[in-house]
DNA sequence: CGATGATCGTTCAGATTTGAACAATGACTC
DNA sequence: GAGTCATTGTTCAAATCTGAACGATCATCG
């Protein structure tokens, strides 16, 4: 499973290791994002039996024109694999929060549509969710930090979306 | 998207919604962290058949005195549930990268110990991993942004570790 | 039109995660 | 010491995620 050979032929590798500052940033980022993800998941599950991906699906749909979106685009929006989205939309359909419609313009396509019940569910759950995000992230940051984080994360997102 | 009915009895709800700046920060953070997580997972899987949690376990152990750590503490360090850690340590044990030892001072305890093979594996895999982190996160950020992100993430981590 | 290749969403198998329940041990009080 | 409660790590069932394979539809071009 694991071998010992380096795939690079360089006799002296030119690896640019992370210095202390960079490593600190990376570690903090990983720890914070994992912890926050856990907390959010916990809150949503307790409050509404929703997972974070499910909640994000409802949010994205609610902001989409006609409260509907194609599967592939939705998967891209919530950053999840197509198969995971298929699974989650099925779950949300069972719960009556989302419906599937065949896309009129493309026979292959499927439109996920937010139902009224889904919209109401989102309204009901959003306050508690926002409070968690606010308490542990937003309200911890100065306005300046908020802007810096936004700039940084957008660059990261762009970098990742661009390269394949 | 949100109407005016509330399930709370407050005549005027005191929900502090996210303003545009705050929402932008939160959205960017979620998207970037999910995308980066996916990319890292992909890279580690392709390069060494490791998952990100497995890699983090190796890293944390390698930096721990005696290359060993108690299960609970390790779980806290890599931000994963105890049962997930049990599973992953079993996997790493099968691969010969980690060993289990009963803790001398506490009969209940288990020490996860990094093996030489585990240390070599880490050395081999680290460069490729660091490159991904650098390309999409570190190198995208100015030095100032790097510091801001670190400060922000540490506050978030502290907030989440403190409360419950 | 017909052929080729891309895109769409689903299905499937396999891996992983989580929380709850559990047995075993430790810590602490009376 | 005995009793009580906390902690440790594991097991288990259930849910979820991913990538690969698939059939169906679309788009392009000769």
Cα dist from B12 to A128, A130, A158, B1, B2, whole Å: 16, 17, 40, 18, 15
Distance CA(B136)–CA(B39), nearest Å, equals: 9
Q: Which domain holds residue A87?
A: 21-162
> How large is the average pLDDT for residues A67-96?
96
CATH number, residue A28 = 1.10.10.10
B141 falls within a domain: yes
B145 falls within a domain: yes
Question: Distance (Å) from CA A82 to C1' C5?
Answer: 21
Residue A88 sits at the vertex; the CA angle it makes with A82 and A89, to the nearest 5 degrees, is 90
Residue B140 pLDDT: 93
Minimal C-alpha gap between B121 and chain A (Å): 7
B4 falls within a domain: no
Residue nearest to nucleotide C20 (CA to C1'): B83
> How large is the average pLDDT for residues A93-115?
95
B5 falls within a domain: no
Q: Quick one: pLDDT band at residue A134, thresholds 50, 70, 90?
A: very high
Distance CA(A38)–CA(A36), nearest Å, equals: 5
Distance CA(A63)–CA(A54), nearest Å, equals: 15
Distance CA(A135)–CA(B40), nearest Å, equals: 28
Bases of chain D within 7 A of a CB of the protein? 7-13, 15-20, 23-27
A10 falls within a domain: no
| Residue contact A15–B130, C-beta within 8 A | yes
Residue A162 pLDDT: 87
B76 falls within a domain: yes
Residue A15 pLDDT: 84
> How large is the average pLDDT for residues A2-12?
40
**pLDDT digits (tens), chain B, 164 positions:** 333 333 444 445 678 899 998 999 999 999 999 999 999 999 999 999 999 999 999 999 999 999 999 999 999 999 999 999 999 999 999 999 999 999 999 999 999 999 999 999 999 999 999 999 999 999 999 999 999 999 999 999 999 998 76
What domain count does chain B have? 1
Residue A11 pLDDT: 45
Cα dist from A46 to A50, B43, B63, whole Å: 8, 34, 36
Instruction: Determine the residue of chain A that is closest to B40 in CA distance.
Output: A160
Nucleotide nearest to B100 (CA to C1'): D9
A113 falls within a domain: yes
3-state secondary structure of B92: helix
B91 falls within a domain: yes
B83 CB inside 7 Å of strand C: yes
Lowest mean pLDDT among A105-109, A160-164, B31-35: A160-164
Residue B2 pLDDT: 36
B33 CB inside 7 Å of strand D: no
Whether the predicted pLDDT of A123 surpasses 90: yes
């Amino acid at each position: 499973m694991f071998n010992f050979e380096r795939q690079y032929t360089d006799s002296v590798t030119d690896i640019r290791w992370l210095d202390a500052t960079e490593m600190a940033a990376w570690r903090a980022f990983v720890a914070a994002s994992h912890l926050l993800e856990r907390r959010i998941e916990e809150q949503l599950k307790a409050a509404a039996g929703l997972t974070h991906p499910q909640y994000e699906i409802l949010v994205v749909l609610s902001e989409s024109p006609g409260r509907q979106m194609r599967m592939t685009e939705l998967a891209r929006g919530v950053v999840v694999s197509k198969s995971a989205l298929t699974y989650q939309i099925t779950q949300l359909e069972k719960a009556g929060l989302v419906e599937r419609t065949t896309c009129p313009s493309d026979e292959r396509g499927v439109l996920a549509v937010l139902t009224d019940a889904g919209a109401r569910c989102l309204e009901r759950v959003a306050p508690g969710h926002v409070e968690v995000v606010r308490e542990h992230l937003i309200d911890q940051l100065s306005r300046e930090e908020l802007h810096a984080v936004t700039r940084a994360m957008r660059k990261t997102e762009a970098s990742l979306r661009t390269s394949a």
